């Protein structure tokens, strides 16, 4: 089982990495085509859409994955109930956006957002179908099929959005292309329904149970979405300059990279911990929890080192010189990503082990703390204040979430934190000393930095023989 999980984790991260590559290319294109103000509108609309899509992204799909993982003999009925429940939730979320688009635009101080939000909502039912099909495949432990489908989805999103914007449809075209790509993703992952003996009444009862059971997962994800986007929304509402909103949006996109990459791992972490728990293997469940937090720290601290030393060049490479003013918020938001990725990994462990109340309580506390910080800092310090508030709240939330599963983690995450911070500092120093002269030099500098980082982790003992053996076994399969 460990080999399958290791391979699934590698494939999941690989799929997210390709998604990241296409997103980089897409954002580079959109930033130049739309300009800072238009790009800011696109990002704000997308952040609102993502929050509403949590209804179909993290509630019932989690229940479906967990149910199929723990009771594979009932998967035929579970699949049908999953699709039925997802369609009901998607319809409700879609209608809610149509009704609330105007008030949301008013709160964010941009009336142009209302029609954009209504167009963006077209993606909710389409994306919902894609996600429930992906969740079913995950529950069956078919990690390769799931990873490939996300690669196809990412490619389709890049092509559809780029083509429509290039044709002159601007932000509207980008939003329509976003919805069309979900259709392609669903087609790539969909598996025909299996025949089952369950009656229509049994399917309805199972659907009702799944919707109710999804409430804790949905609550956690809605809170997590609020924590992740509140800073951008408050910047949009308080900062009067559309250009400054665009700069902060650009910084937030780059700062989401570590969490984005970790999404591939978390998709594997949740069913793996759930399966180990269902089989009564607490030691194996603890092993997966430790590995999840370790990888989160490795990825995020490396990202902090890269951005602290080459952030200005990265902004110029991805966006253009017009976005250079986002450098300081970008560095601070990258630090926030450390706490966010650890918190996300710990939340997956808490939910997989049925500690729903702890997960909800930690996120609710993080949200309240962040809102209080942002309410004080954004009016006084603008973009930097928003980034600092987000970073402080994220680090506190990540630490508290790790404390909640301390019995599974032990002292290993603290050792990992120290070793990765040391290695990331070495990488940052090397990059700052070399000082690449051109943004294009980052294509060479970053791979070399990754090699140096891994070598330093190997020297400090963070990457051991067991880790190498797991990677080799996953590749061999």
Domain boundaries along the sequence of the chain: 1-213, 215-477
Averaging pLDDT over each range in 147-161, 221-235, 287-301, which range is the top one? Answer: 147-161
Query: Residue 333's pLDDT is what?
Result: 93
The residue that leads in pLDDT, 398 or 196, is 398
Query: Residue 81's pLDDT is what?
Result: 85
* Residues whose CB is less than 8 angstroms from the CB of residue 122 and which lie 6 or more positions away in sequence, other chains included: 94, 175, 176, 179
Query: pLDDT category, 409, cuts 50, 70, 90?
Result: confident
Is the torsion defined by CA of 297, 465, 8, 153 positive or negative? Answer: positive
Pairwise CA distance, residues 336 & 254, whole Å: 12
| Weakest-pLDDT range from 198-202, 301-305, 395-399, 444-448 | 198-202
| 374 has a pLDDT exceeding 70 | yes
Query: pLDDT category, 264, cuts 50, 70, 90?
Result: low
Mean residue pLDDT of the chain comes to 82
In this prediction, residues 191-195 reach a mean pLDDT of: 65
| 475 has a pLDDT exceeding 70 | no
Pairwise CA distance, residues 28 & 33, whole Å: 9
Query: Residue 268's pLDDT is what?
Result: 65
| Weakest-pLDDT range from 124-133, 206-215, 335-344, 415-424 | 206-215
Task: Tell me the angle at which helices 257-278 and 123-139 cross, rounded to the nearest 10 degrees.
Answer: 40
Query: pLDDT category, 244, cuts 50, 70, 90?
Result: confident
Tokens describing residue 158 = 């890049």
In this prediction, residues 227-233 reach a mean pLDDT of: 85
> 190: part of which helix (H) or strand (E)?
none
Percent of the chain with pLDDT over 90: 22
Pairwise CA distance, residues 181 & 288, whole Å: 32
Would the pTM of this model clear 0.85, i.e. be above it? no
Q: What share of the chain is helix, strand, coil (3-state, %, to 5)?
A: 90, 0, 10
| 291 has a pLDDT exceeding 90 | no
The residue that leads in pLDDT, 274 or 416, is 416
Percent of the chain with pLDDT over 70: 88
| 44 has a pLDDT exceeding 60 | yes
Q: How crowded is residue 333: how many other Cβ atoms within 10 Å of its Cβ?
A: 27
The residue that leads in pLDDT, 114 or 71, is 114
**Cβ distance 294 to 416 under 8 Å?**
yes
Burial 7-18 (b: 16+ CB within 10 A, else e): bbbbbbbbbbeb
In this prediction, residues 18-26 reach a mean pLDDT of: 82
Query: Residue 132's pLDDT is what?
Result: 87
**Cβ distance 230 to 370 under 8 Å?**
yes
| 59 has a pLDDT exceeding 80 | no
Burial 216-227 (b: 16+ CB within 10 A, else e): bbbbbbbbbbbb
| 476 has a pLDDT exceeding 50 | no
Query: pLDDT category, 289, cuts 50, 70, 90?
Result: confident
Q: What is the pLDDT of residues 320-369, one digit of tens each?
A: 888 888 999 999 999 998 888 888 888 878 877 777 788 788 888 888 99
Burial 353-383 (b: 16+ CB within 10 A, else e): bebbebbbebbeebbebbbebbeebbeeebb
Query: pLDDT category, 477, cuts 50, 70, 90?
Result: very low
Query: pLDDT category, 12, cuts 50, 70, 90?
Result: low
Q: What is the pLDDT of residues 112-128, one digit of tens each?
A: 889 999 999 999 999 98
In this prediction, residues 41-51 reach a mean pLDDT of: 87
**Cβ distance 44 to 249 under 8 Å?**
yes
């Amino acid at each position: 089982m460990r080999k399958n999980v290791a391979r699934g984790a590698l494939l999941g991260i690989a799929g997210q990495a390709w998604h990241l590559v296409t997103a980089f290319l897409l954002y580079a294109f959109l930033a130049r085509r739309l300009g800072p103000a238009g790009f800011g509108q696109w990002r704000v609309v997308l952040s609102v859409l993502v929050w509403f899509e949590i209804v179909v992204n993290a509630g019932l799909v989690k229940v479906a994955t967990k149910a199929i993982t723990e009771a594979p003999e009932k998967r035929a009925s579970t699949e049908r109930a999953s699709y039925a429940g997802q369609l009901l939730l998607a319809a409700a979320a879609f209608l809610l956006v149509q009704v609330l688009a105007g008030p949301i635009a008013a709160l964010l101080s941009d009336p142009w957002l209302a029609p954009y939000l209504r167009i963006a909502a077209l993606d909710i039912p389409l994306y919902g179908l894609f996600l429930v099909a992906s969740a079913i495949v995950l529950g069956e432990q078919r990690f390769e099929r799931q990873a490939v489908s996300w690669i196809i989805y990412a490619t389709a999103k890049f092509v559809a959005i780029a083509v429509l914007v290039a044709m002159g449809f601007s932000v509207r075209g980008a939003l329509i292309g976003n919805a069309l790509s979900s259709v392609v993703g669903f087609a790539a992952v969909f598996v025909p329904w299996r025949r089952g003996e369950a009656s229509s009444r049994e399917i309805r009862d199972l659907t009702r149970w799944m919707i109710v059971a999804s409430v804790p997962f949905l609550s956690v994800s809605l809170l997590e979405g609020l924590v992740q986007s509140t800073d951008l929304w408050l910047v949009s509402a308080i900062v009067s300059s559309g250009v400054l909103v665009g700069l902060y949006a650009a910084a937030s996109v780059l700062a989401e990279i570590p969490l984005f990459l970790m999404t591939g791992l978390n998709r594997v972490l949740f069913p793996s911990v759930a399966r180990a728990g269902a089989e009564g293997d607490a030691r194996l469940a603890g092993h997966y929890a430790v590995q999840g937090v370790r990888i989160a720290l490795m990825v995020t601290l490396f990202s902090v080192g890269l951005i602290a030393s080459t952030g200005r060049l990265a902004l110029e490479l991805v966006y253009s010189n017009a976005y250079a003013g986002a450098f300081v918020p970008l560095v601070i938001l990258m630090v926030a990503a450390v706490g966010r990725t650890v918190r996300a990994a710990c939340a997956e462990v808490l939910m997989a082990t049925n500690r729903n109340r702890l997960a909800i309580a930690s996120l609710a506390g993080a949200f309240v703390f962040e809102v209080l910080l942002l309410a004080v800092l954004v009016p006084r310090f603008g973009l930097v204040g928003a980034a600092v508030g987000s970073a402080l709240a994220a680090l506190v939330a990540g630490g508290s979430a790790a404390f909640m599963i301390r019995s599974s983690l032990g002292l290993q995450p603290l050792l990992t934190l120290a070793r990765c911070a040391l290695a990331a500092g070495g990488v940052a120093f090397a990059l700052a000393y070399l000082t690449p002269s051109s943004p294009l030099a980052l294509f060479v500098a970053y791979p070399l930095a990754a090699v140096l980082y891994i070598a330093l982790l190997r020297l400090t003992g963070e990457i051991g023989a067991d880790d190498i053996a797991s990677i080799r076994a996953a590749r061999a399969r």
